[in-house]
């Protein structure tokens, strides 16, 4: 397994990372602003983490780097069973390097069981309503 992070060099890799991230679109309530996200990555307000197996990307994640925590904006890949534990390990290692105590993520209800197995706990529920 290979773990790679991208910040100010994101322009060189955006063409192949963006389609991976767009897998999240079908599960979003509001459209994702990928232009602002890319700007945040270039300004080092966020970071892209990619985990690959034999040079084939398995998962891409965009995380915000906050003072006291890391917040996962997106996590997308083909087979969650194949990459979720690997990404969790990478996020924990990043948190340890950055000396932060918390990693947060908003996600669909369907993520609860998988995340709980890795030590995450459900804290909030987000509700939405079309008008």
CATH code for position 90 = 3.40.630.30
Eight-state DSSP code of residue 110: G
Eight-state DSSP code of residue 56: E
DSSP bridge pairs for 56:
53
Q: What is the pTM of this model?
A: 0.84
Cβ-contact 60, 99 below 8 angstroms = no
Q: Say if 103 falls within a structural domain.
A: yes
**Quick one: pLDDT band at residue 39, thresholds 50, 70, 90?**
very high
Length of the chain: 131
- Please tell me the total count of domains within the chain: 1
Q: At residue 124, does pLDDT exceed 90?
A: no
Q: What mean pLDDT is predicted for residues 75-101?
A: 92
- pLDDT at residue number 15: 92
Q: At residue 57, does pLDDT exceed 70?
A: yes
Q: Say if 53 falls within a structural domain.
A: yes
Q: Say if 129 falls within a structural domain.
A: no
């Amino acid at each position: 397994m290979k773990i790679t992070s991208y910040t100010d060099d994101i322009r060189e890799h955006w063409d192949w990372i963006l389609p991976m991230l767009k897998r999240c679109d079908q599960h979003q309530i509001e459209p994702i602003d990928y232009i602002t996200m890319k700007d945040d990555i270039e300004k080092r307000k966020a970071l892209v983490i990619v985990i690959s197996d034999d040079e084939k990307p398995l998962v891409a994640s965009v995380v915000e780097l906050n003072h006291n925590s890391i917040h996962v904006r997106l996590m997308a890949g083909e087979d969650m069973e194949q990459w979720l534990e690997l990404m969790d390990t990478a996020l924990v290692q990043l948190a340890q390097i950055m000396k932060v105590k918390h990693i947060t993520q908003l996600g669909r209800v369907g993520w609860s069981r998988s995340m709980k197995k890795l030590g995450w706990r459900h804290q909030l529920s987000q509700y939405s309503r079309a008008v």
